[in-house]
Amino acid sequence: MSETTTSMNTDFLTRLGVQGTSLGACWGEWVETSEGRELVSVSPTDESEIGRVKMASKDDYGHVMTKAREAFETWRMVPAPQRGEVVRLLAHEFRRHKEDLGALIAWEMGKIRSEGEGEVQEIIDIADFAVGLSRQLYGLTMHSERPGHRMYEQWHPLGVVGVITAFNFPGAVWAWNAMIAAVCGDVILWKPSSKTPLTAVAIQNICNRVMKEAGCPGVFNLVIGAGREVGETLINDRRIPLVSATGSCHMGRRIGEIVAKRLGRSLLELGGNNAIIVTEDADLDMALSGIVFGAVGTAGQRCTSTRRIFLHRSIAASFTDRLKKAYASISIGNPLDDSVLMGPLVDEGAVKDYEDALETIRTQGGEILYGGKRVEGPGFFVEPTLVKADPDMPITKDETFAPILYIFEFDDVDEAIRMQNDVDQGLSSAIFTRDLLAAETFLSHRGSDCGIANVNIGTSGAEIGGAFGGEKDTGGGREAGSDSWKIYMRRQTCTINWTKEVQLAQGVEFDVS
Ligand code: UN1
């Protein structure tokens, strides 16, 4: 493991305004909280305190909500391209702070600097996308069956959109929702993960400056508080027509149920159990780099992380050897050190989940081919791990948020696809092949059942231009690009009669005279 630089330069904390103690509730102005409880943000790299946040209470939530609703009254009447112009200014600010924010994400969450900056790039990309979208919130026009009638549909803003995000993408997933919702005319109420509160404060600081200048505070709102308090209040709040949530299947099931009960909309982006199939004719260099980045990148803590690989039997042994060598070359350590490829897990609980999973793997007959241990010393470091597994091992059906990769063998592609699909989750999937028939089978109706299906690209690292999300227990939601914007708006079908008499559809006669 590379040494943690204790004398590390943390000036980025000052530049982002997150040094010391921050407040946890904001509607454009920070709210002096009515409660005194503090959340301590700890770096997973050396377990040092980075800063503190005064947690928002239910009252603070209420205050922010009132301000957000007031802001919606104004924001919804701003023409969409002008809303896009404000988002363009935001994108500019995120560009200016890319390095600092990337460093903070790395330091608070544990992903390496390059991935931290990549996450900020994702924020910038979705903001740019939203700017263009602000002139493309198109509705269809239809031909009416009645003479002298015109039909069309238009899209109106929804209101206050609740956004609940996870620690692993503490900025980008907020941005997927917030940038799109903002050009749609909504206002956003964000509850970030309690594991990454300072990234949220830093982002809110950036939004505050831009929105103040633009004269529209209250569009981007933040409540950092206990899940049981502000999280529960948010999902139960009938004033929030859409709750977008990222997290575990367990969490999503609960949110989906509560929001459905009040007939609200939910957009769920939940667990994955993503697999890569490697056929016998695949370019194995490409497969190797796709798999290693997918399984080890972000220390296996992406919802798109590669958790299972299916190797054609003829290449399985030699390819597994190559994987072992690649794993042995991974430098683990301080994510801000440029030579490091894998940082720590997010906290002690994540290490325990990793260790528990390994225990279960052993009892279920899995063979650990590489890794399998915690790295001693301060911080929450573990070894990236390779496991020779059998599809009947129940643990391979679960998502463990850690760098554990299960290796399976197959004889024909149909069998590999069947095994790949034989899990409850359905987020991301990939095949490495040069065989057109295998690639097209994988992409066909009887191919991958996931929301994302890639050929000669790994499971993680999707671009924002496509709709992002998955099927089955992954929750069915779609965020980011393509036409995902539609969930942030309400559709209205309008029929205009420009004749001088009322005509009924379907030829119904109802003469009252
Ligand atoms: C997530 O892990 O919740 O496709 C999001 C990817 C990233 C986003 C992951 N663009 O891996």
Predicted local distance difference test score (pLDDT) of residue 5: 47
Ligand 1 pocket member 302 (CB < 6 A): yes
CA distances from 367 to 312, 354, 357, 363 (A): 19, 15, 13, 10
Q: How far is the CA of 74 from the centre of ligand 1 (A)?
A: 33
Q: Which domain, by its residues, includes 360?
A: 274-467
Are 446 and 375 in a shared domain? yes
- Among residues 124, 101, 102, 122, the alpha carbon closest in space to that of 114 is found at 102
Are 136 and 217 in a shared domain? yes
Ligand 1 pocket member 175 (CB < 6 A): no
Domain annotation covers residue 501: no
Q: How far is the CA of 168 from the centre of ligand 1 (A)?
A: 8
Residue 159 · residue 219 · CB < 8 Å: no
- Which amino acid, 453? A
Q: Name the stretches of the chain with pLDDT < 70.
A: 1-7
Q: How far is the CA of 12 from the centre of ligand 1 (A)?
A: 24
Ligand 1 atom closest to Cα of residue 122: 10
Are 91 and 153 in a shared domain? yes
Residue 16 has φ and ψ, to the nearest 5°, of: -90, 0
Under DSSP, is residue 495 helix (H, G, I), strand (E, B) or coil? Answer: strand
Domain annotation covers residue 237: yes
Ligand 1 pocket member 233 (CB < 6 A): no
Ligand 1 pocket member 474 (CB < 6 A): no
The 10 Å Cβ neighbour count of residue 36 is 8
Ligand 1 atom closest to Cα of residue 462: 4
Q: Could you tell me the two tokens for 506?
A: 């379907």
Considering its fold, how many domains does the chain have in total? 2
Q: Which residues are part of the catalytic machinery? A: 269, 303
Ligand 1 pocket member 454 (CB < 6 A): no
DSSP run (H or E) holding 71: helix 58-75
Ligand 1 atom closest to Cα of residue 464: 10
* Burial of residue 144, with CB atoms counted within 10 A of its CB: 0-12 exposed, 13-18 middle, 19 or more buried: middle
Q: pTM for this one?
A: 0.97
The residue whose CB lies within 8 Å of the most ligand 1 atoms, and thus the one to mutate among 123, 169, 269, 478, is 169
Q: How far is the CA of 63 from the centre of ligand 1 (A)?
A: 32
Domain annotation covers residue 163: yes
Domain annotation covers residue 423: yes
* Burial of residue 10, with CB atoms counted within 10 A of its CB: 0-12 exposed, 13-18 middle, 19 or more buried: middle
Are 222 and 320 in a shared domain? no
Domain of residue 147, CATH code: 3.40.605.10
Predicted local distance difference test score (pLDDT) of residue 1: 58
Domain annotation covers residue 512: no
Domain annotation covers residue 508: no
The whole-angstrom distance between residue 247's C-alpha and the CA centroid of its chain comes to: 8
In three-state form (DSSP H/G/I as H, E/B as E, the rest C), the secondary structure along 340-379 is CCECCCCCHHHHHHHHHHHHHHHHCCCEEEECCCECCCCC
Are 243 and 301 in a shared domain? no
Q: Whose CA is nearest to atom 7 of ligand 1?
A: 461
The residue whose CB lies within 8 Å of the most ligand 1 atoms, and thus the one to mutate among 298, 452, 468, 484, is 468
The residue whose CB lies within 8 Å of the most ligand 1 atoms, and thus the one to mutate among 114, 119, 196, 304, is 304
Distance (Å, rounded) from C-alpha 35 to C-alpha 54? 8
Ligand 1 atom closest to Cα of residue 303: 2
Q: How far is the CA of 468 from the centre of ligand 1 (A)?
A: 8
Q: How far is the CA of 477 from the centre of ligand 1 (A)?
A: 14
Q: Whose CA is nearest to atom 6 of ligand 1?
A: 461
Ligand 1 pocket member 246 (CB < 6 A): yes
Are 243 and 288 in a shared domain? no
Domain annotation covers residue 255: yes
Are 279 and 216 in a shared domain? no
Are 220 and 114 in a shared domain? yes
CA distances from 36 to 21, 43, 57, 339 (A): 12, 22, 9, 41
Half-sphere CA count of 29, side-chain side, radius 13 A: 6
DSSP-derived pairing of the beta strands 367-370 and 265-269: unpaired
Q: How far is the CA of 162 from the centre of ligand 1 (A)?
A: 20
Domain of residue 315, CATH code: 3.40.309.10
Under DSSP, is residue 307 helix (H, G, I), strand (E, B) or coil? Answer: strand
Ligand 1 pocket member 169 (CB < 6 A): yes
Are 165 and 212 in a shared domain? yes
Are 238 and 123 in a shared domain? yes
Are 388 and 369 in a shared domain? yes
Predicted local distance difference test score (pLDDT) of residue 9: 86
Are 317 and 409 in a shared domain? yes
Domain annotation covers residue 76: yes
